[in-house]
Amino acid sequence: MQYNDEQLPNEDSLRKLRRGYATNVSVLQNDADDIVNTAEQIEIANNIEWQTNELLLNNLVNRAQNRSTRDFICGLIPLNRSDRNEINSYYIEENFRRNPSLAGVLPANFGTGLREYVRAETELLDALVQLLYSETNATRRQNIFNIIRRRLDALDTLASFWTNTIFG
């Protein structure tokens, strides 16, 4: 089909456009409907402790001694929320709300807080890896893989800020 920008649309061209649009939308809707979450995936996603990580990140912001560390951690908080929202959009149903987790005693200094955050983050990453290996949809697999890589890079950067605290 050749297009002429100067020609006004007629009934034939509009019908062809509608048919092409309906076909494309139908294909996209069928692809989206083929994604079925397993009970295992839903359980894994329900047990991820996003709130704990956010509480620990907020604690680290308050305990950070230098500005670059504080700015980096402040940038991790919205990333944590967007990762949570993306994973929840895949596996958590709209009408299901999980009870918020109870925060224990928050660490009193940056080193202890960072250690607790690393522990919580490794548990979260473990759950994401389980989701990655159980996922059959290629787009979701890639998105989960990207989240894991981003979180590992963030841990690497935090470790470079405070190498003595974690490994010392």
Residues 95-110: pLDDT tens digits?
555 555 555 678 888 8
Q: At what angle do helices 50-63 and 110-134 cross, to 10 degrees?
A: 150
- CA gap 82, 86 in Å, rounded: 6
| C-alpha neighbours within 13 Å on the C-beta side of residue 34 | 12
What confidence tier does 168 reach under pLDDT thresholds 50, 70, 90?
very low
- CA gap 17, 23 in Å, rounded: 10
14-67: pLDDT as tens digits:
677 677 665 665 455 545 555 788 889 999 999 999 999 999 999 999 998 889
Residue written as tokens 């680290």? 60
- CA gap 129, 110 in Å, rounded: 28
- Reply yes or no on whether the pLDDT at 119 is more than 50: yes
> Can you give the pLDDT at residue 36?
83
- CA gap 34, 79 in Å, rounded: 29
As a whole number, the mean pLDDT across the chain is 82
> Can you give the pLDDT at residue 163?
67
- Reply yes or no on whether the pLDDT at 6 is more than 90: no
Say what the pTM is: 0.74
> Can you give the pLDDT at residue 9?
66
**Could you write out the DSSP letters of every residue in 126-166?**
HHHHHHHHH---HHHHHHHHHHHHHHHHHHHHHHHHSHHHH
